[in-house]
Amino acid sequence: MRRAERRAGWPSAATPDRVCGWGGGKRVAVWRWLPPDTDGLRAGLGADREPGWPGAIPRGCGRSYGDAAQCSGGLVVSTSRFDELRLDPDSARLTAGAGVTLARILPECLRHGLVLPVVPGTQHVTVGGAIASDVHGKNHGHAGTFGRHVEALGLVTATGELLELTPETPGGLFDATVGGMGLTGVIVWARIRLARVPSAQLAVDTDRTGSLDDTLALLSEPGGPHRVAWLDLLGPGTGRGVVTRAEHAPAGEPTQVGDKGSAARRARAVIPPGWPAWPLRSETVRAFNALRFARAPRRERGRLRGFSEHMFPLDAVAAWPRLYGRDGFLQYQFVVPSGAERTLEQVIAHLRRARIPSFLAILKDMGAAGGPPLSFPVAGWTLALDIPRRTDGLQGALARCDELVASAGGRVYLTKDARLRPEMTAAMYPRLAEWRETRDRIDPDGIWRSDLALRTGLVG
């Protein structure tokens, strides 16, 4: 693969690299730049740029599944040196550099009876990445998205200006940055409101369900705010599953998790590079799913688990996407509004008919949509499906799913996406024009762009 060409006006410290999304697959040539601090970032961006400059995009841990954190032939701005962390337990506030990961933040917080109100399904994401994707957790109906808890953030714009933004800042730039996929500038720090919790342990209720309808019914019942269902879409019926609903255990509960309750989750295994894809076939995953279903308790109440252990199950195996081999996998995550449950069935049935296997399927309920125009959640249901990229007929089958989702008033999640087209993006994100207006004001030369943004038409 050819290296990306170095352009005049680029920071001299940028070095050639190849990157891809968490779903793996083809790597693209970029120049990676690791600014030493905010001043270095500002100085680098303020330099003269030649016409036709190929653009730049911030990158955190690269846990977005597709092409959101890369810009082919352009500059990838790594944020790992924005790493200061200040916790104020009295006011329950955290000020963190944008490159700090949740894996670093959570143990600090939990030790003081505090927690980030929203965490995604992995601890290996940065504060900047969590804001730029406006991530949601298993408790969306209860806590909303990550961005709802951000009080203020520092943003370095295309001209190297440093702005402090709050939800009240006129002009909509705060909301355009939250969920804005790095396309308004580099977030360098954020102040976040934390939640007080009685313990670092969760009390988890588990139920096995026989069908999609049972799963939806159970996820609609009262119970702990952290709720999620694993579905076995390779097994019999319409999607038997395992539902968990969890809440923080009261203080003083006998601990079943030792001091692991407040620790970061450590990987117990790592998939080595070059792992072949052949062991991961429908037959083997079907057998694994059957075992997983059979081993789950039929009905269990109040089992104590460590916060990170329960919230980040996939972090137990490092580099797990290598299981899919060189071609990697796609995650198709979409949301449909309440009342459109039939669309969930239609998507599942359509993929089955087209013989598209979903090796991992996760269903969650979502609460009301938030303020940011590109934020993903809609009150209803979100389903995330992991599918090997090398599956015959995949693109056509997912294009039909897009139509089903869009006509139900739903949308595909940008941070997981690797294939959505501009027409569908505009149909699914009706406030795109409003977002573009704000973005074009702050970056009229279109410096910030990613492969995702160009492919989906977020930017021209």
Q: Which is nearer to ligand FAD, 219 or 238 (CB)?
A: 219
Would you state the structure tokens that stand for residue 109, as one six-digit string? 């917080």
Under 8 Å CB-to-CB from 415, ≥6 apart: which residues? 64, 65, 66, 68, 133, 135, 181, 376
Q: Which is nearer to ligand FAD, 54 or 302 (CB)?
A: 54
Q: Which is nearer to ligand FAD, 157 or 343 (CB)?
A: 157
8 Å CB contact between 272 and 265:
no
Beta-sheet pairing, 162-165 with 85-88? unpaired
- Min. distance of Cβ 18 from ligand FAD in angstroms? 15
Tell me the C-alpha distance between 140 and 439, whole Å.
27
- Min. distance of Cβ 253 from ligand FAD in angstroms? 26
Residue indicated by tokens 């309808």: 213
Q: Which is nearer to ligand FAD, 10 or 312 (CB)?
A: 312
Under 8 Å CB-to-CB from 410, ≥6 apart: which residues? 334, 335, 336, 337, 340, 343, 378, 380, 428
8 Å CB contact between 35 and 54:
no
The values of phi and psi at residue 99, to 5°, are -90, 0
Q: Which is nearer to ligand FAD, 113 or 120 (CB)?
A: 120
Q: Which is nearer to ligand FAD, 357 or 377 (CB)?
A: 377
Tell me the C-alpha distance between 372 and 147, whole Å.
9
Q: Which is nearer to ligand FAD, 34 or 290 (CB)?
A: 34
Beta-sheet pairing, 360-366 with 380-388? antiparallel
- Min. distance of Cβ 393 from ligand FAD in angstroms? 26
- Min. distance of Cβ 113 from ligand FAD in angstroms? 24
Contacts with ligand FAD by CB under 6 A lie at 22, 57-64, 68-69, 79, 98, 120-122, 125-126, 128-130, 132-133, 135-137, 181-182, 186-187, 314, 415, 450
Q: Which is nearer to ligand FAD, 113 or 179 (CB)?
A: 179
- Min. distance of Cβ 272 from ligand FAD in angstroms? 19
Q: Which is nearer to ligand FAD, 238 or 458 (CB)?
A: 458
Beta-sheet pairing, 56-59 with 75-78? parallel
Q: Which is nearer to ligand FAD, 22 or 307 (CB)?
A: 22
- Min. distance of Cβ 296 from ligand FAD in angstroms? 20
Instruction: Select from 186, 189, 187, 223 the least CA-distant residue to 207.
Output: 223
Q: Which is nearer to ligand FAD, 113 or 410 (CB)?
A: 410
- Min. distance of Cβ 445 from ligand FAD in angstroms? 18
Q: How many residues does the chain have?
A: 460
Chain-centre distance of CA 337, in angstroms? 20
- Min. distance of Cβ 452 from ligand FAD in angstroms? 7
The identity of residue 215, as a single letter, is: T
Residue indicated by tokens 């969930």: 344
- Min. distance of Cβ 219 from ligand FAD in angstroms? 15
- Min. distance of Cβ 67 from ligand FAD in angstroms? 9
- Min. distance of Cβ 350 from ligand FAD in angstroms? 24
Sheet holding 360-366, edge to edge: 299-306, 201-209, 240-248, 226-232, 360-366, 380-388, 329-337, 411-412
Under 8 Å CB-to-CB from 450, ≥6 apart: which residues? 55, 57, 67, 68, 69, 70, 71, 181, 182, 183
Query: Positive or negative, the Cα torsion across 326, 274, 129, 155?
Result: negative
Tell me the C-alpha distance between 436 and 418, whole Å.
21
Residue 251's CB is within 10 A of a number of other CB atoms, namely 11
8 Å CB contact between 329 and 388:
yes
